[in-house]
C-alpha cells in the first residue's frame, strides 16, 4: 500500500471516483491504491462495504487485515485532511452499488485500546475476543443487529468465547474521527450503517506488535461471522439473494496467492516423496533375507536425494504466505508450507532414528481405537480364504495393458490427461501413482480377482483426483493439501468396495499394516514384526516381508496406517449423509471438505472434469447407497455386504 505525505496532489480526485464508479457499474473488480496509505478493493457488485481508517494518534497493527479479509473493503488513513475526499468516495460507492440492489450496508471497523501492561503480565493477549456493535439510534435493521450479534458471539479463540455488546448511539464510527457518511445522507441513499469495535487482544500490550497466530485465527472466524451478517442483510433488504453466505466471499485472487501457490508447488515437485522412501533393492533384499533364514534384517538402499534440504527450505519460506489477504486460502497455504518443511526434514533423516518421529508428526501413530479394530479384523478374518485366488494371476505387462485401457477412457473425457503406465524394476511396492502416472513393479503378479479393485484404487481414485486437481486454479490441489493421505487412501479403498473387489484378505492386510506400525513404534525389530505376521497371523512369507518392509522403510514409516484410518473416516462421513463428489475435486484432507465447499460457493474452484468410471455402474451406485445407510469396517466382512 502507498505511504505518502498528504498534499493537494494526493487527494482523492473526482476522476478517481468516476473511474471507480464506472467499473462498479460494469460489474468489474476495483483494486486501487489510495493517496497517503490504503486500498479500495471491491471484488464485484456486492451490497456491502467494510471500512477501516487507521488512527493517527496511535499504532494499530493488524486491524487493517481484519477488513482486508472481506470481498468489499476500504482501508485508508484517518488523517483529517483526507476525510472530505473519502466521504465523497464512499458516498459515490454507496449510490452506485445501492441502485442495483435497492439497499446497501456500510460497516466501519476499528480497534479499541490495546490491553494495558498490567493485564498483559497476568494474561498475555488481554481478555480475549470481544466486540461492540454501534448502531445509530432509530436505525431500521433491528433483526440485522441481532444476526451480527449472534454470529460474532459464536467466535471462540483459544477456548475463549467472544463477548458482544450493542450500543445505540449517535456515534457509529471511531472516536476522534468524523463519520465517513452521515446517518441522514445514508438514509437518503438507502444505506444502513453499523460500527464494529474489536477488542485488540491480538496486539501486544504496547500496541506496536501483533500475536500473528491469534490474529490469523481471528481473521478466519471474523470473516465468517461478517459474511453471515451480510447474507442476512442481502436477503432481508436487497434484491440480491445468494444461495449461501459463502457466495459473498472473495472470488478474485491477488497476485500473492498465485506466487505462493507457484513456489510451494515448485518445492513439492522438486522431489517425489514416496519414491524417495521406497527401497530400490526390494527383490535382492528379499533373497538376502531368505538366505539368512529370516534371522537378519535386510539392508535397504534408497535413491539419492535430488534436493539440497537447506536450499529447499529456504525456497519454501521465501513464499510470501503472509501477504495472502483471504483467510481461508491463507490457512491452506500455511498448512502446506509446514507440511513440506516436515517432509524435507524426513527425507534428510532417512535411515536415522529421527525419521520415525517425523513420520508420526506427518501421518500420526496408532491410537487404541484403530489398534483394537485391526486386532478384531485379524481375529475374525480367517487366514486362508479363496477370495483372491480365483482366476489365477496376471503378470505385470498384462496388468499394464489393462491399466492403459483405463487411462485411455479418461483421456477421451478430458484430453489434458497425460498419464502413462510404466513398468519399473526398481520399485519395492506393487503399484504407485506418481505425478499422475501409474508405476508398476515389473516383478509384480496381480491376482485376477483383484484387478478391477486395483485399477479403481490407483487410476479411478489417485489418478482421477490428481487430474481433477490439475483442472483447478491452485497447483496444491493436485500436489496435495496438507494431510491428504488418509482421505485419499480411504477413497481408494472405498472404490475397491464399490466395484466388489474389497476382499477379506485385503482388509486383513490393511489391519496387519496397522498392527506392524504399532509394534514398530513400541520398539519391535524388523525380524520381530516379520515373525509375528508369519507365525502368529499366518501370512505367507513374501506378504509378511513386503508388509514389514513398507513399515520399516526409511527408518520407520507410519503412513500405511492411513488406509484403515481413512476407510473408517470415510465410512463415518458417508453414514452421516456426506456426498462422494466433493471429495474428488483434488487431493484434500477430511478437514478440508468444508473449505472446498466454501471455495466452490465462491466460484474460486471449478467443476472437476473427471468422474470415476465406477459411478456409471448400477451395482457400484447401489453399494454406495448401502454405505450411506451407515456401515462400519467390521460390517464389510459380514456375509455378502463386503
Domain contains 381 = yes
Domain contains 367 = yes
Does 181 score more than 50 pLDDT? yes
> What pLDDT shows up at residue 387?
66
For Cα atoms 306, 470, 27, give the angle at the middle one, nearest 5 degrees. Answer: 130
> What pLDDT shows up at residue 428?
62
Question: In terms of Cα–Cα distance, which of 94, 267, 301 is closest to 179?
Answer: 94
Domain contains 497 = yes
Domain contains 428 = no
Together in a domain, 43 and 158: yes
Together in a domain, 233 and 358: no
Together in a domain, 212 and 357: no
Together in a domain, 372 and 245: no
> What pLDDT shows up at residue 87?
94
Together in a domain, 221 and 368: no
> What pLDDT shows up at residue 608?
95
3, 261, 325, 472, 637 from 320: Cα distances, Å: 21, 10, 11, 21, 49
Domain contains 329 = no
CATH number at residue 86: 3.40.630
Domain boundary among 210, 228, 252: 252
Q: Are 355 and 520 in contact (CB under 8 A)?
A: no
Domain contains 50 = yes
Domain contains 419 = no
136-177 pLDDT, tens digit each: 876 667 889 999 999 999 999 988 999 999 998 877 889 889
Kind of pairing, strands 431-434 and 104-111? unpaired
Q: Which domain holds residue 528?
A: 352-390+451-641
> What pLDDT shows up at residue 540?
93
CA dist 601 and 351 (Å) reads 45
User: Mean pLDDT across the chain, nearest whole number?
Assistant: 91
Together in a domain, 246 and 364: no
Kind of pairing, strands 72-77 and 130-136? unpaired
Domain contains 431 = no
Average pLDDT (230-243) is 94
Please state whether 482 falls in left (phi above 0), alpha (psi between -120 and 50) or beta. beta
Q: How confident is the model at residue 529 (pLDDT cuts 50, 70, 90)?
A: very high
> What pLDDT shows up at residue 641?
39
E strand or H helix that includes residue 212: helix 212-237
Domain boundary among 204, 224, 252: 252
CA dist 460 and 270 (Å) reads 25
Q: Are 221 and 157 in contact (CB under 8 A)?
A: yes
**How far apart, in Å, do the first and last CA atoms of the chain sit?**
60
C-beta atoms surrounding 220 within 10 Å: 17
Together in a domain, 240 and 356: no
CA dist 79 and 178 (Å) reads 11
**Domain count within the chain:** 2
Together in a domain, 508 and 637: yes
Together in a domain, 363 and 215: no
Pairwise pLDDT comparison (335 vs 158), residue with the higher score:
335
- Range from 112-121, 125-134, 182-191, 587-596 that averages highest in pLDDT: 587-596
Average pLDDT (282-295) is 95
CA dist 522 and 504 (Å) reads 27
Pairwise pLDDT comparison (531 vs 121), residue with the higher score:
531
Domain boundary among 203, 231, 252: 252
Together in a domain, 248 and 358: no
> What pLDDT shows up at residue 121?
42
Q: Output the nine-digit C-alpha cell for 82.
A: 483526507
Together in a domain, 13 and 142: yes
182-198 pLDDT, tens digit each: 888 888 888 999 999 99
Average pLDDT (469-478) is 94
25-71 pLDDT, tens digit each: 999 999 999 988 999 999 999 999 999 999 999 999 999 999 999 99
Amino acid at each position: 500500500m502507498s505511504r505518502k505525505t498528504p498534499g493537494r496532489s494526493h487527494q482523492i480526485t473526482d476522476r478517481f471516483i468516476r473511474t471507480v464508479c464506472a467499473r462498479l457499474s460494469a460489474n468489474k473488480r476495483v483494486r486501487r491504491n489510495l493517496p497517503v496509505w490504503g486500498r479500495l478493493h471491491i471484488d464485484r457488485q456486492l451490497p456491502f462495504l467494510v471500512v477501516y481508517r487507521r488512527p493517527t494518534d496511535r499504532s494499530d497493527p493488524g486491524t487493517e487485515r481484519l477488513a482486508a479479509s472481506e470481498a468489499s473493503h476500504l482501508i485508508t488513513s484517518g488523517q483529517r485532511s483526507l476525510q472530505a475526499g473519502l466521504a465523497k468516495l464512499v458516498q459515490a460507492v454507496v449510490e452506485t452499488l445501492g441502485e442495483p440492489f435497492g439497499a446497501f450496508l456500510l460497516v466501519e471497523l476499528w480497534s479499541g485500546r490495546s490491553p494495558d501492561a498490567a493485564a498483559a503480565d497476568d494474561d498475555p493477549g488481554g481478555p480475549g475476543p470481544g466486540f461492540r456493535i454501534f448502531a445509530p439510534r432509530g436505525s431500521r435493521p433491528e433483526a440485522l443487529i441481532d444476526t451480527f450479534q449472534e454470529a460474532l458471539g459464536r467466535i471462540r479463540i483459544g477456548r475463549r468465547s467472544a463477548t458482544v455488546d450493542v450500543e445505540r448511539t449517535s456515534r457509529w464510527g471511531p472516536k476522534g474521527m468524523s463519520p465517513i457518511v452521515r446517518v441522514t445522507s445514508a438514509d437518503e441513499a438507502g444505506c444502513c450503517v453499523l460500527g464494529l469495535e474489536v477488542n485488540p487482544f491480538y496486539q501486544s500490550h504496547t500496541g506496536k506488535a501483533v500475536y500473528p497466530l491469534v490474529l490469523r485465527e481471528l481473521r478466519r472466524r471474523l470473516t465468517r461471522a461478517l459474511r453471515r451478517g451480510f447474507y442476512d442483510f442481502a436477503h432481508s433488504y436487497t434484491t440480491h439473494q445468494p444461495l449461501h453466505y459463502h457466495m459473498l466471499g472473495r472470488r478474485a485472487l491477488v497476485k500473492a496467492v498465485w506466487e505462493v501457490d507457484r513456489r510451494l508447488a515448485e518445492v513439492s515437485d522438486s522431489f517425489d516423496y514416496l519414491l524417495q522412501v521406497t527401497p530400490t533393492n526390494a527383490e535382492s533384499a528379499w533373497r538376502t533375507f531368505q538366505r539368512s533364514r529370516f534371522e537378519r534384517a535386510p539392508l535397504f538402499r534408497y535413491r539419492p536425494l535430488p534436493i539440497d534440504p537447506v536450499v529447499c527450505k529456504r525456497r519454501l519460506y521465501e513464499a510470501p504466505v503472509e501477504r495472502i489477504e483471504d483467510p481461508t486460502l491463507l490457512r491452506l497455504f500455511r498448512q502446506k508450507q509446514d507440511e513440506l518443511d516436515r517432509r524435507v526434514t524426513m527425507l534428510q533423516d532417512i535411515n536415522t532414528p529421527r525419521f520415525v518421529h517425523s513420520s508420526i508428526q506427518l501421518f500420526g501413530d496408532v491410537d487404541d481405537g484403530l489398534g483394537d479394530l485391526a486386532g478384531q479384523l485379524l481375529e475374525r478374518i480367517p487366514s486362508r480364504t479363496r477370495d483372491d485366488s480365483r482366476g489365477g494371476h496376471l503378470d505385470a505387462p498384462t496388468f499394464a495393458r489393462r491399466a492403459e485401457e483405463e487411462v485411455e477412457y479418461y483421456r477421451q473425457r478430458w484430453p489434458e490427461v497425460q498419464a502413462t503406465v510404466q513398468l519399473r524394476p526398481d520399485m519395492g511396492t506393487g503399484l504407485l501413482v506418481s505425478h499422475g502416472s501409474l508405476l508398476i513393479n515389473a516383478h509384480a503378479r496381480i491376482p485376477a480377482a483383484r484387478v478391477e479393485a486395483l485399477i479403481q484404487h490407483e487410476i479411478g481414485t489417485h489418478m482421477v483426483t490428481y487430474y481433477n486437481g490439475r483442472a483447478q486454479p491452485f497447483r496444491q490441489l493436485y500436489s496435495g493439501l496438507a494431510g491428504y493421505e488418509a482421505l485419499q487412501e480411504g477413497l481408494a479403498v472405498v472404490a475397491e468396495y464399490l466395484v466388489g473387489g474389497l476382499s477379506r484378505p485385503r482388509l486383513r492386510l490393511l489391519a496387519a499394516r496397522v498392527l506392524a506400525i504399532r509394534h514398530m513404534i513400541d520398539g519391535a525389530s524388523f525380524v520381530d514384526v516379520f515373525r509375528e505376521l508369519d507365525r502368529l497371523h499366518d501370512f505367507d512369507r513374501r506378504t509378511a516381508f513386503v508388509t514389514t518392509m513398507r513399515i520399516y522403510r526409511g527408518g520407520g514409516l507410519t503412513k500405511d496406517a492411513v488406509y484403515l484410518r481413512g476407510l473408517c473416516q470415510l465410512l463415518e462421513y458417508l453414514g452421516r449423509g456426506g456426498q462422494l463428489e466433493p471429495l474428488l475435486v483434488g487431493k484434500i484432507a477430511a478437514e478440508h471438505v468444508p473449505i472446498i465447499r466454501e471455495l466452490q460457493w465462491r466460484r474460486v474452484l471449478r467443476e472437476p472434469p473427471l468422474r470415476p468410471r465406477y459411478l456409471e455402474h448400477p451395482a457400484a451406485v447401489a453399494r454406495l447407497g448401502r454405505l450411506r445407510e451407515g456401515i462400519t469396517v467390521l460390517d464389510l466382512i459380514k456375509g455378502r455386504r463386503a
